Structures are given as structure tokens and as C-alpha cells.
Structure 1
């Protein structure tokens, strides 16, 4: 694998809106792809991982989830994006980031761009 890959839930409109923002505004080298169209085996990811949180797979095979994945995406973008990326990796911020991420993930159907499908488990979509 040459480039990092950022994997998100393409069935969720909120997640897709966030991914589109990333592609338009954050100059990461990563391929941004919905897990439904990703080769999970090649990336070394499981269905459980991608259903639980966004994933970052580095060129070296390093895998990070949730806010840790977002931090690596931001750091990869460089320039001023590296600052919030490093902040997310700062231990006290990271301890708060996971509960915040889980809250957003659990309420994404209520957020801008979210739809009722965002609240359903994958098996029911």
C-alpha cells in the first residue's frame, strides 16, 4: 500500500458529508473511501472495526480508529491541520475525544446531514 486510507461509513449521510468536507478542505494524502467499497481484507480491517468507527490505515499498515484516525488524517494534511491533529493525540484531549466521538456516532442521525439510516445497525440498513 502506497498511500494511507481513511475509511468511513458510506451508508451514513452525516459521515458522507464529513468525508466530502475532508476531500474538499483537508489536503491529506489519504484515499478517503466508504467501507462498503473498500477492500477490507487488503486493508487489514474487520467489519466490526469499520462499523464501530472511522479507520486510518497507514502505508506501513498501522491502523487507528475514531479520534485517533482523525488525528492521523489531520497530521498527514500538514500545515495548520497538524496542530489540531497533534492536539487530538495529546493524552488529556484524547481521553475526552473518545467519549465525544462515541456520543457523535450514537447521535449522528440527529446531526446536520444525518438521516434515520444513520441510527440503524448495519444489518438493518
Structure 2
């Protein structure tokens, strides 16, 4: 692979809005692509993994998901964004980043830019995030 790849859910309006923000504001050498149009086999990912989280696949083959993927994407950008990415990798921040990421993923249909199409089916949400009363 000649460039890193950041994979997101192209069926989700919230995720697509975030990807468009990346394209406009975060200069990176990474390819930002919806998983529905990516060669998942070549990336070593499955559709189930991509439904669960965003993914970063580095040129070295390293694959990371969720906030770790976002940190890698930011780390591959300009100095200000790299600093933010480094901050996201700090252990206390990272400890909070995963529960926050899961909450956003579970509620993405309620967030700005989100639509009902962003909502995963209840069975999928339960499988990925467990059953909770805070939906």
C-alpha cells in the first residue's frame, strides 16, 4: 500500500460530514474512503469491523480503530493537528476517548449532520455496544 487509508461509514450522514471536514480542514496524505467503496480484503478489514468503528490502515500494515484511528489520522497532518493527535494518544485521554467514541457511534443519528439512516439496527447496536438504558 503506497499511502495510509482512513476508512469510515459512507452510509452515515454524520460520518460523511466528518469525512468532508477532514477533506476540507485536515491536510493529510491519507486516503479517506467510505468502507463501502474500499477494497476491504486488501486493507485486511471486514464489513463488520467497519460497521463498528472508523479504521486507520498504515502503509506498514498497522490497523487501529476508533479514537486510535483518529489519532493516527491527525498525526499524519500539519503540526497543529499532529499535536491534537498526540494528545489523543495520552493514556488518560485515551482512557476517556474510547467510551466517548462508543457513545458517539451509538448516538450518531442524533448528532449534527446525522440522520435516521445513521442509526444502526437495534440488534447491531446491542451486539456492538451492549444493551444500555441511555439510548
Taking structure 2 as the reference length, what is the TM-score of the superposition? 0.88
- Normalised by the length of structure 1, the TM-score is 0.95
Q: Moved runs in structure 1, 4+ residues, more than 3 A?
A: none
Which deviates more from structure 2 when the two are superposed, residues 12-21 or residues 78-87? 78-87
- Structure 2: which 5+ residue stretches go unaligned? 125-135
Partner of 1:28: 28
| Alignment correspondent of 2:97 | 97
Deviation at residue 77 of structure 1 after TM alignment: 0.4
RMSD: 1.4
Query: Displacement of 1:78 after TM fit?
Result: 2.8
- Matched residue pairs, number? 123
After superposition, residues 4-15 of structure 1 pair within 5 angstroms as 4-15=4-15
Alignment of structure 1 residues 1-125 onto 2, 5 Å: 1-121=1-121
Q: Which runs of 5+ in 1 are unaligned?
A: none
Counterparts of 2:49 and 2:2 in 1: how far apart (Å)? 22
